[in-house]
Each structure stands twice: as structure tokens, then as C-alpha cells.
Structure 1
Amino acid sequence: MSDERETLIEFPCDFPIKAMGRDEGEFETLVVELVRKHAPDLGEGAVTTRPSKGGSFLSVTVTVRATSQQQLDNIYQSLTDCEQVLMSL
């Protein structure tokens, strides 16, 4: 039995991952560290941020060079397991 699941994504590809949380402390750094564990080759310009209208929350988008569905699953699992990350897309 194969571990490969069918996916509509063709790998490798550039894939944006967004994490949202409270704009407290080093949220951007935290998200980048979590993603970098699974995608160590983040390029310049890979990270963008956007504060919420009221300034209470921060959206961090990290564009990774995804090589497999398993890699993406691992990134999303790390973000989901982190208490400071309220949502990831």
C-alpha cells in the first residue's frame, strides 16, 4: 500500500501558508520558526504580515517551496499545535 495520497497540487511548488494570532510579542518570529522547521530554505521576501483593522491580531503569510503533501501536513500540524496560532490557512 502506498503512502502517497492523491492531491491536486503539483510538487514542487510555491505555496503560501497563513497563520493568524494575537499581535503580541514575537508572533511573526514564532510562525517563521515553526514553518522553517519543515521548510528550512525560505527565501527573501517569503514572509509578509498584515495587522487587523483594530491592531489586535496579526496575519503572517509564509510562502514555502513545497516538495510534498507530507511536508505541508507537517507544517500545518506544527501551527495547529501552537497555542498562539488561532487559525491557519
Structure 2
Amino acid sequence: MSELQDPPKIEFPCDYPIKVLGRDKPEFRPTVLAVFERHAPGFDSETIVVKGSSKGTFMSLTITITATGPEQLKALHEELMASGLVQMVI
């Protein structure tokens, strides 16, 4: 029986893409961007990928930040989910 391996460790700082999915409402994008600006100031807004669902109900934003550590990622995730506009963070 082989031993389970630990998942690979992320080395910080690193480029870290985060996909945020929520309902396509006017306040979704500015709210998400404000949260990212608080937790990852100076991220490159030119690299944001925006996709809408086929029926226009949902929107996803993929934003790449320079992640500084697990605490930053946890705080970012918690604030996004607490906004009430975000369905999922991948």
C-alpha cells in the first residue's frame, strides 16, 4: 500500500487566477473589483476575463492577482462570499 502524498505546496508570491461567479446584476462587477482592490491592490485590471452565461443569468470574472499567502486568499474568499452577490469562487 502506497502512502498518500501531500498536495504540492504553493510558493508565494505567485500569479494566482481566481474565478468569481455570480448573478449578472449591475452591482456584481464593481463590488467584486472593490473586494479585490482591498485584498490585492494593484492587480492588473487589463487581464480580467469576463464571461456571461448563455442565458445572461450569470457572469464570471477571472482575475489574476499576485497572491502573497494563504491568509490573503482566505480573506478574499470570505469577503467575496459575504457580499451576497457571489455564488462561487474557484
Alpha-carbon separation, structure 2, partners of 1:61 and 1:35: 11
How many residue pairs match? The answer is: 84
Alignment partner, residue 24 of structure 2: 23
Instruction: Name the Cα RMSD after superposition.
Output: 1.6
**Secondary structure of the corresponding residue to residue 9 of structure 1:** coil
Q: Which runs of 5+ in 1 are unaligned?
A: 1-6
Distance across 1 between alignment mates of 2:89 and 2:70: 16
Partner of 1:42: 43
Aligned-residue sequence identity (percent) comes to 37
- Cα deviation for residue 44 of structure 1 reads 4.0
Consecutive unaligned residues in structure 2, runs of 5 or more? 1-7
Q: In the alignment, residue 80 of structure 1 is paired with which amino acid?
A: M
Where has structure 1 moved over 6 Å in runs of 4 or more? Answer: none
- Larger Rg computed on CA atoms: 2
Q: TM-score, normalised by structure 1?
A: 0.85
